[in-house]
Amino acid sequence: MTVICFLSSGANAADSSNALNAIVTSNATMVAQYVLSQTTGHTRKKARIAIIIDDIGNKRADADAFALSEKVTFSILPHTPFSTQFSEFSFHQGREVMLHMPMESLHGEALGEGAILASMYPDEVEMAMLRALESVPHAIGVNNHMGSKLTQITLQMNAVMEVLNNNRLYFIDSRTTKFSKAHQIARQHGVYSATRHVFLDHFANEAFLEKQFSQMLRKARRNGSVIGIAHPYPVTIEFLKKKLDDLPDDIELISVSEYLNIQNESFMSAPRLAKENRLKQENDSQTSAIAPE
């Protein structure tokens, strides 16, 4: 908007000063009205946050997380007492489900049943993936549980991404190591992929959660959209209940699929049933897909 004004050359100094002040005041009012019309006449684009709750399924108490907004995505561990039950309930709730796939770490942590190890052949990796997906029905994406070792190894990650591509599933790199190749390998296989930006509860206390949540909002405002990961700790669930019920006006909570839609205009979530491919590949496979304990 441009405002042009003229003062008569015959005006005295006092008149000119008064006239100039009036014009400046008028112009300031016009500018303020113009700015207001631009912000109220058009919806301002909000910053988006996608939140994943990892490690769902080991304990009945994990069900407390269902009190969170349905926009919060659950990543469910396979082969646990509540894997299938919680996946089914999430689906009927309208909540997005992911498979939280255990992968070998550099530190030797216990991984649970069906984990992918660096010693496994590609066909064993593929079978482990399909069996894990069968235990978490309705999963439309995958992220790694641990995996600081496996996500650095091309051979096994190629096998993981082959399964995801065949089943039209997305991948979120939890980034448990800065040396992870997972996101890059996913892209090479045509798998829609993204990486975690913030861990919210590496330390499960409210002060740390507050600090990380604020960091997530700052990153969202700066970059447009971000992914945060948390866990079904009681302190985390209570913290997120309060925060997500009272988000700032410029922040929007979205699912992981919605995040990927923002980043990739061609993204469409249309997963195949992993069970159909599992049966076929199980018949074709000549080696065991069961990971060693």
| Predicted confidence (pLDDT) per residue in 120-169, tens digit | 999 999 999 999 999 999 999 999 999 999 999 999 999 999 999 999 99
Residue 273 and residue 201 share a domain:
yes
Residue 129 and residue 25 share a domain:
no
Residue 149 and residue 36 share a domain:
no
- Let me know if residue 292 belongs to a domain: no
- Let me know if residue 51 belongs to a domain: yes
- Decide if 55 contacts 109 (C-beta within 8 A): no
Residue 167 and residue 63 share a domain:
yes
- Let me know if residue 240 belongs to a domain: yes
Residue 260 and residue 149 share a domain:
yes
CATH of the domain at 192: 3.20.20.370
Q: How confident is the model at residue 112 (pLDDT cuts 50, 70, 90)?
A: confident
Residue 129 and residue 24 share a domain:
no
- Among 76, 6, 67, 45, smallest CA distance to 231 is for 76
- Give the pTM: 0.78
- Decide if 278 contacts 136 (C-beta within 8 A): no
Query: Tokens at residue 94, please?
Result: 């309208």
- Let me know if residue 126 belongs to a domain: yes
Residue 33 and residue 67 share a domain:
no
- Let me know if residue 196 belongs to a domain: yes
pLDDT tens by residue, 5-43: 434 444 454 554 454 454 444 444 444 444 444 444 445
- Decide if 282 contacts 127 (C-beta within 8 A): yes
Question: Is the torsion defined by CA of 135, 139, 145, 151 positive or negative?
Answer: positive
Q: How confident is the model at residue 270 (pLDDT cuts 50, 70, 90)?
A: low
Q: Which domain holds residue 29?
A: 14-43
- Let me know if residue 291 belongs to a domain: no
Q: What is the total count of domains within the chain?
A: 2
- Let me know if residue 7 belongs to a domain: no
- Let me know if residue 289 belongs to a domain: no
Task: Concatenate the DSSP letters of all residues of 203-225 into one string.
Answer: S-SHHHHHHHHHHHHHHHHHHSE
Residue 173 and residue 150 share a domain:
yes
